[in-house]
């Protein structure tokens, strides 16, 4: 329902009804701009005014920001330049400063006039009322150019309606703030959810890698056991079978009274058993080199290098830098095993003429380097296509389990350099 202008012929109850309808129309609106535009239209209708404005206090409280204007066409440039009205005691701002209705029959001759912006139609009759929240002005409504001067009735009506408008403005502002906060919150939740999703995927990826590592570790252990059993089968088992056969033949020779050949068989058995003993010692030594526990890392490395040279005919030198110290027991055995694995690779793959082991002690770290002058290899290729080969992987795992890291430099025809760095901790 379009409210009709309030005329002096209207009864009090008709005016109240008109005001009520305006308030209902206003409170159904949700955007601030439509509230301001509708409220201003109502005010012009209520007071039979030609044009008017709604101004709201700026955040610093020093000016009015004209947020709605009606009754004359203003270029956007005009609006850009003039929408801020300083809060000074001019006829157009006193309603806020004095927190009461202010009117004049002709603004052009008002003593508190500060002039009008260029391009604004001349203002004659003017009525301004404050917009108040809990008695404090938050802005004002100004109406102008009623053909006749504004009367007390208009002042009262506009003031009453302005009270409604102020409440609706505040509610809509709060609603807009709430909506903005809600949107910001939703955006944050969406962002956080996305981050969590990434973290979840990351975790799943890590779990998968861990699983892979675990199964590879099991493979490494399995292959180590296989190597030991192969060693025992190839070495000790063959020797024991040989010893059994010799014993049987000694038995037969004795039964036939052939003492001399029987003695020869027994001597051969003794020889075989000596070799069994040596082989068992070698395996025990490999499992847990006694030199390592008794004398420490450097003598154990030297001992192994000597044996390596002996068995492979590849000269292997050991150089030590720094002041040798005991490492934690598991670090010493780990370092030793790593050297074994690296030298094993030198003997099987490198085709090297010499190899060198460098042990460097410093207060915080221990560095072991194994260098050969062999044919080198394509590291990336070897790492990507493992094909059941576990040596390099085992070395990396060992390094990690000791809190250190392993680096390999190699190029075809350029030899290979394996470097292990582990932190030095108190021996356990």
Ligand X SMILES: Nc1ncnc2c1ncn2[C@@H]1O[C@H](COP(=O)(O)OP(=O)(O)OP(=O)(O)O)[C@@H](O)[C@H]1O
The stretch near ligand X (CB under 6 A) out of 35-43, 240-248, 361-369, 386-394 is: 386-394
**Which x/- pattern over 392-421 shows residues binding ligand X (rule: CB under 6 A)?**
x-----------------------x-----
Cα–Cα distance between 137 and 144 in angstroms, integer? Answer: 20
Among ligand X, Mg ion, none, the one that 359 touches (CB under a kind-dependent 5 to 8 A) is: none
327 binds ligand X (CB under 6 A): no
The correct pick among 101, 377, 398, 404 for binding ligand X (CB under 6 A) is: 377
Q: If contact means CB under 5 to 8 A according to the sort of partner, which of Mg ion, ligand X, none does residue 200 touch?
A: none
DSSP assignment letter at 417: E
Residues in contact with Mg ion, shown as a per-residue x/- string from 344 to 363 under the rule CB under 5 A: -x------------------
Q: How far is CA 294 from CA 184, 297, 305, 326, 334, in A?
A: 68, 9, 17, 11, 16
Binding to ligand X, residues 35-94 (CB under 6 A): none
Indicate the burial class of 79 (C-beta count within 10 angstroms; 0-12, 13-18, 19 or more). Answer: exposed
The entry of ligand X, Mg ion, none that residue 372 binds, CB within 5 to 8 Å by partner kind? ligand X
- Per-residue binder mask for Mg ion (CB under 5 A), 288-327, x = binder: ----------------------------------------
String of contacts with Mg ion for each residue 373-392, x by CB under 5 A: ------------------x-
Beta strands (DSSP E) in 279-347 are: 316-321
Choosing from 38, 47, 104, 345, the residue that interacts with ligand X (CB under 6 A) is 345
* Residue whose CB is less far from ligand X, 164 or 416: 416
Residue 374 near ligand X by CB under 6 A: yes
Residue 159 interacting entry, from Mg ion, ligand X, none, C-beta within 5 to 8 Å by type: none
Query: Interacting stretch for ligand X, rule CB under 6 A, among 42-50, 173-181, 253-261, 344-352?
Result: 344-352
**Contact between 350 and ligand X (CB under 6 A)?**
yes
Looking at the Cβ atoms of 121 and 391, the one nearer to ligand X is 391
Long-range Cβ pairs for the range 187-191 (8 Å, 24+):
none
For residue 316, state whether it binds ligand X (rule: CB under 6 A): no
Distances, alpha carbon 159 to alpha carbons 12, 27, 47, 205, in Å = 16, 17, 11, 68
Q: Where are the alpha helices (DSSP H) in 116-258?
A: 152-232, 238-255
CB of 219 to ligand X, least distance (A): 9
Total chain residues near ligand X (CB under 6 A): 16
Q: Whole-angstrom Cα distance, residue 69 to residue 37?
A: 8
* Nearby residues of 103 by Cβ (< 8 Å), 6 or more positions away: 125, 126, 127, 128, 149, 150, 155
> Would you tell me the crossing angle of helices 238-255 and 259-287 to the nearest 10 degrees?
160
Q: Which residues, at least 6 apart from 88, have a Cβ–Cβ distance to it below 8 Å?
A: 97, 114
The residue range among 183-191, 276-284, 303-311, 347-355 that interacts with ligand X, by the rule CB under 6 A, is 347-355
Pick one of 27, 29, 391, 397: the residue that binds ligand X (CB under 6 A).
Answer: 391
8-state DSSP, 413? T
Which residue do the tokens 């058995």 mark?
269
139 within 8 A of 54, measured Cβ to Cβ = yes
Say whether residue 30 binds ligand X (CB under 6 A): no
Distances (CA, A) of 416 to 121, 222, 346, 404: 92, 27, 9, 20
Q: What is the number of the residue whose Cβ is closest to ligand X?
A: 391
Closest distance between ligand X and the C-beta of residue 345, in Å? 3
Q: Distance between CA 270 and CA 243 in Å, rounded?
A: 8
Q: Is 281 in the site for ligand X (CB under 6 A)?
A: no
Q: Are 412 and 376 in contact (CB under 8 A)?
A: yes
Q: Does 372 bind ligand X (CB under 6 A)?
A: yes
User: What residues make contact with Mg ion under the rule CB under 5 A?
Assistant: 345, 391
Q: In the complex, which residues of this chain contact ligand X (CB under 6 A)?
A: 345-346, 348-350, 372, 374-377, 382, 389-392, 416
């Amino acid at each position: 329902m379009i409210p009709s202008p309030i005329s002096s012929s209207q009864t009090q109850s008709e005016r109240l009804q008109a005001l009520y309808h305006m308030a209902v129309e206003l409170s159904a609106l949700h955007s601030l701009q439509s509230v301001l535009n509708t409220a201003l239209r109502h005010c012009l209708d209520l007071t039979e005014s030609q044009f008017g404005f709604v101004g709201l206090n700026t955040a610093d409280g020093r000016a009015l920001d004209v947020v709605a204007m009606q009754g004359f066409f203003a270029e956007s440039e005009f609006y850009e330049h003039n929408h801020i009205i300083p809060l000074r005691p001019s006829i157009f701002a006193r309603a806020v400063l004095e927190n009461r209705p202010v009117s004049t029959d002709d603004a052009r001759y008002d003593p508190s006039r500060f002039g009008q912006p260029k391009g604004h139609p001349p203002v004659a009759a003017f009525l301004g009322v404050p917009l108040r929240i809990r008695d404090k002005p938050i802005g004002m409504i100004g109406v102008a150019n009623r053909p006749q001067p504004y009367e007390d009735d208009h002042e009262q009506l506009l003031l009453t309606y302005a009270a409604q408008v102020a409440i609706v403005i505040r509610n809509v502002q709060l609603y807009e703030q709430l909506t903005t906060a809600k949107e910001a919150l939703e955006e944050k939740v969406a962002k956080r959810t996305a981050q969590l999703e990434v973290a979840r995927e990351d975790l799943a990826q890590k779990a998968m890698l861990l699983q892979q590592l675990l199964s590879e570790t099991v493979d490494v252990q399995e292959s180590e056991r296989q190597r030991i059993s192969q060693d025992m089968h190839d070495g000790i088992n063959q020797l024991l079978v040989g010893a059994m056969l010799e014993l049987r033949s000694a038995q037969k020779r004795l039964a036939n009274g052939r003492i001399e050949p029987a003695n020869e068989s027994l001597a051969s058995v003794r020889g075989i058993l000596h070799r069994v003993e040596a082989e068992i010692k070698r395996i025990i030594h490999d499992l847990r080199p006694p030199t390592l526990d008794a004398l420490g890392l450097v003598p154990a490395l030297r001992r192994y290098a000597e044996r390596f040279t002996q068995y492979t005919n590849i000269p292997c030198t050991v150089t030590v830098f720094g002041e040798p110290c005991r490492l934690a027991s598991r670090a010493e055995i780990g370092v030793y095993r790593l050297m074994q694995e690296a030298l094993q690779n030198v003997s099987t793959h490198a085709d090297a003429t010499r190899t060198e082991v460098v042990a460097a002690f410093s207060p915080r770290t221990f560095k072991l380097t194994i260098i050969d002058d062999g044919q080198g290899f394509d590291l990336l290729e070897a790492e990507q296509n493992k094909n059941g080969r576990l040596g390099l992987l085992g070395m990396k795992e060992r390094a990690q389990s000791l809190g250190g890291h392993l680096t390999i430099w190699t190029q075809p025809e350029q030899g290979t350099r394996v470097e292990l760095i582990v932190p030095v901790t108190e021996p356990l």
